[in-house]
């Protein structure tokens, strides 16, 4: 085997020696990366130069590192892989967006510049460095920090092993759909890389078990099953498999919030987003008589389960995620998530279930009343009435998320972070998504607290000609926190938000107070895909969407 591989390799034409930096870029390009997000700095500057010179990858300069991480995250959700590059130490605020990618299973790569070994030999007391107490040795503080929030790490300090390390770490990222960390000492960026035979990094565990018999038996015994799908199904590209299984047996599908639009929400078997008691009435109605639940790729977190009100204790319960499988509460080993999900559609079916629930939702319409003050629930109705096929909705946390959770959308047309829930995600995410999918208009819904965290990225959008529609729900503070425990600490400055289009020299701003104004502004925005729109909707401090109102009832009892 070894001989055969070496033989194959020796037959290849001699490869022009590439640098470590270029090898890395070519590999990223091969995996679908067309844009890299970040901020330059002296330890990473040569890599920025290589990106600039690369024929197929564009560097997108952001206003800071944490937002570059959010962009890489959202880009990966659309494109399969996202990359951010930072300089050492001072770029470390990216840990927040990296932690989110880790928790929500998104394959991203953080590439950090670093000082060279020869610099460390002279003195460890270098700018941007964190642990300066041991002279002569590399500062590994950043590596240690990233070990907590990435699935794999490497320092590319050896041209002999760099190629293999790059392959290993990218394979790991794509296999596990979790972030990885690559540290690139600045003298290595242009160092010639040693050739290495292609090694396939098989990190599967042995032969996996598909549990066909067990599942078949459960299906036989069930009357009213349901499939609850989560984000891991879309991350691992398993939507078609799940759909084939559901269609074969006529089993209705619900999705988690994080897994929203894993399948098209127009599919006749799709019932809606299930998050416990927060779900729509028609969905709860069907689930009330359910006796069998497939929980596929869902993480049963507080928000995903409607603060633990989801009914997961059915007569039969199949839980399958990347990390674990349990069938009727019995955990199993020898299991491969992808193979298990792909195998479900091949289970023999004597007769499909006869009465799957059907939920046909009529097209939402919005008839504005001219002078009527706009409210949060009406804002969401108005937005949904304007949505066109293929539009991608990106929401922030809070009212933005809960208000939009019942929009009926196409496949892969919704992005949010309801598990880690880092406010401010939506603006950089919307920009990255628009970049990844230029033909699909992105609609971003964001509250004012979240907006203030990452709004400078509107500048990035305008610089690079990226034109999403941003709808800013101005409820004057951290609205979601007011019903929990209110105080002046929940206030934020009340900006003249649309004046930011003047600051950033681009985009069109509207400040909305009535239904008519919102309807008109959205009509304009949706018909003008070349411009970024910033539409501020003026709301009362406690004017919440129906979704958030119900969430608040749960949280505050």
Q: What are phi and psi of 296, to 5 degrees?
A: -115, 110
Task: Give yes or no for residue 455 binding a copy of itself (CB under 8 A).
Answer: yes
Q: Which is nearest to 368 in space by CA: 513, 466, 245?
A: 513
Task: Give yes or no for residue 48 binding a copy of itself (CB under 8 A).
Answer: yes
Q: Which of residues 303-332 bind a copy of itself (CB under 8 A)?
A: 303-304, 308, 323
- CA dist 21 and 162 (Å) reads 10
Query: How many other C-beta atoms can be found within 10 angstroms of the C-beta atom of residue 56?
Result: 11
| Token reading at 326 | 């349990």
- The CB-side HSE value for 400 (13 A sphere, CA atoms) comes to 35
Instruction: Provide the terminal-to-terminal Cα distance of the chain, rounded to the nearest Å.
Output: 64
Q: Which is nearer to a copy of itself, 198 or 503 (CB)?
A: 503
Q: Which is nearer to a copy of itself, 442 or 450 (CB)?
A: 450
Name the minimum Å distance from CB 424 to a copy of itself: 7
Which residues touch 202 (CB under 8 Å, ≥6 apart)? Answer: none
Tell me how many residues contact a copy of itself (CB under 8 A).
86
Q: Which is nearest to 317 in space by CA: 303, 334, 304, 300?
A: 300
Return the residue of 23, 59, 245, 402 that touches a copy of itself, per CB under 8 A.
Answer: 59
Return the residue of 102, 211, 335, 402 that touches a copy of itself, per CB under 8 A.
Answer: 102
Task: Give yes or no for residue 421 binding a copy of itself (CB under 8 A).
Answer: yes
Q: Which of residues 60-79 bind a copy of itself (CB under 8 A)?
A: 61, 63-64, 66
Quickly list H helices, 41-86.
45-53, 65-79
Return the residue of 117, 247, 481, 528 that touches a copy of itself, per CB under 8 A.
Answer: 481
Name the minimum Å distance from CB 151 to a copy of itself: 12
Return the residue of 335, 337, 407, 419 that touches a copy of itself, per CB under 8 A.
Answer: 419
- Binding part of the chain for a copy of itself, among 222-230, 428-436, 481-489, 517-525 by CB under 8 A, reads 481-489
Name the minimum Å distance from CB 329 to a copy of itself: 14
Task: Give yes or no for residue 484 binding a copy of itself (CB under 8 A).
Answer: yes
Task: Give yes or no for residue 423 binding a copy of itself (CB under 8 A).
Answer: yes
- Binding part of the chain for a copy of itself, among 281-289, 350-358, 366-374, 460-468 by CB under 8 A, reads 460-468
Residues 257/96/107/112 CA torsion (nearest 10 deg): 170
- CA dist 397 and 35 (Å) reads 26
Task: Give yes or no for residue 30 binding a copy of itself (CB under 8 A).
Answer: no
Query: How many other C-beta atoms can be found within 10 angstroms of the C-beta atom of residue 204?
Result: 10
Task: Give yes or no for residue 493 binding a copy of itself (CB under 8 A).
Answer: yes
| Token reading at 523 | 């009509």
Q: Which is nearer to a copy of itself, 193 or 500 (CB)?
A: 500
Do residues 240 and 248 lie in contact, with contact meaning Cβ atoms separated by under 8 Å? no
Task: Give yes or no for residue 544 binding a copy of itself (CB under 8 A).
Answer: no
Return the residue of 32, 40, 390, 529 that touches a copy of itself, per CB under 8 A.
Answer: 40
Do residues 396 and 450 lie in contact, with contact meaning Cβ atoms separated by under 8 Å? yes
- CA dist 492 and 482 (Å) reads 12
Return the residue of 389, 487, 527, 530 that touches a copy of itself, per CB under 8 A.
Answer: 487
């Amino acid at each position: 085997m070894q001989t055969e591989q070496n033989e194959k390799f020796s037959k290849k034409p001699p490869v022009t020696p590439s640098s470590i930096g270029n090898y890395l870029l070519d590999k990223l390009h091969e995996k679908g990366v067309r844009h890299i997000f970040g901020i330059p700095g002296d330890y990473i500057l040569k890599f920025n130069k290589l990106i600039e010179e690369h024929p197929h990858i564009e560097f997108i300069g952001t206003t800071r590192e944490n937002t570059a991480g959010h962009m890489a995250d959202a880009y990966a959700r659309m494109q399969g892989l996202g990359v951010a590059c930072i300089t050492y130490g001072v770029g470390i605020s990216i840990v927040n967006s990296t932690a989110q990618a880790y928790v929500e299973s998104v394959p991203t790569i953080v590439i950090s510049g670093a000082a060279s070994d020869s610099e460390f030999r002279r003195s460890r007391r270098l700018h941007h460095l964190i642990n300066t107490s041991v002279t002569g040795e590399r500062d590994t503080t950043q590596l240690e920090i990233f070990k907590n929030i990435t699935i794999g790490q490497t320092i590319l300090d050896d041209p002999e092993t760099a190629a293999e390390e790059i392959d290993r770490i990218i394979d790991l990222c794509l296999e596990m759909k979790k972030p990885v960390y690559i540290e690139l000492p600045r003298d290595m960026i242009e160092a010639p890389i040693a050739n290495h035979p292609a090694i396939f990094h098989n990190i599967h565990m042995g032969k996996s078990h598909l549990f066909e018999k067990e599942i078949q038996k459960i299906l036989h015994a069930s009357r009213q099953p349901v499939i609850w799908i989560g984000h891991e199904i879309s991350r691992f590209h398993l939507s078609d498999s799940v759909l084939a299984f559901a269609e074969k047996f006529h089993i209705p599908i619900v999705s988690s919030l994080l897994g929203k639009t894993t399948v098209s929400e127009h599919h006749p078997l799709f019932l809606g987003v299930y998050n416990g008691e927060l779900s729509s009435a028609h969905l709860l109605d069907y689930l009330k008589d359910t006796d069998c639940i497939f929980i596929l790729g869902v993480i049963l977190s507080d928000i995903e389960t409607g603060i633990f009100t989801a009914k997961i204790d059915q007569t039969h319960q199949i839980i399958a995620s990347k990390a674990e499988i349990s069938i009727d509460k019995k955990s199993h080993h020898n299991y491969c998530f992808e193979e298990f999900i792909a195998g479900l559609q091949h289970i023999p079916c004597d007769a499909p279930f006869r009465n799957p629930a059907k939920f046909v939702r009529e097209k939402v319409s919005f008839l504005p009343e001219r002078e009527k003050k706009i409210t949060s629930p009406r804002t969401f109705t108005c937005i949904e009435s304007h949505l066109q096929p293929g539009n991608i909705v990106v929401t922030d946390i809070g009212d933005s998320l809960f208000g939009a959770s019942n929009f009926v959308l196409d496949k892969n047309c919704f992005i949010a972070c309801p598990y880690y829930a880092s406010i401010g995600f939506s603006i950089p995410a919307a920009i990255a998504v628009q970049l990844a999918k230029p033909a699909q208009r992105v609609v971003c819904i964001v509250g004012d607290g979240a907006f203030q965290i990452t709004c400078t990225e509107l500048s990035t959008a305008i610089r690079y000609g990226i034109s999403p529609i941003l709808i800013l729900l101005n409820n004057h503070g951290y609205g979601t926190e007011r019903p929990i425990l209110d105080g002046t600490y929940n206030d934020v400055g009340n900006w003249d938000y649309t004046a930011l289009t003047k600051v950033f020299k681009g985009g069109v701003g509207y400040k909305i107070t009535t239904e008519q104004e919102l309807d008109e502004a959205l009509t304009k925005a949706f018909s003008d895909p070349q411009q970024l729109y910033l539409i501020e909707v003026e709301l009362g401090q406690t004017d919440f969407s129906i979704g958030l109102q119900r969430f608040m009832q749960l949280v505050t009892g």
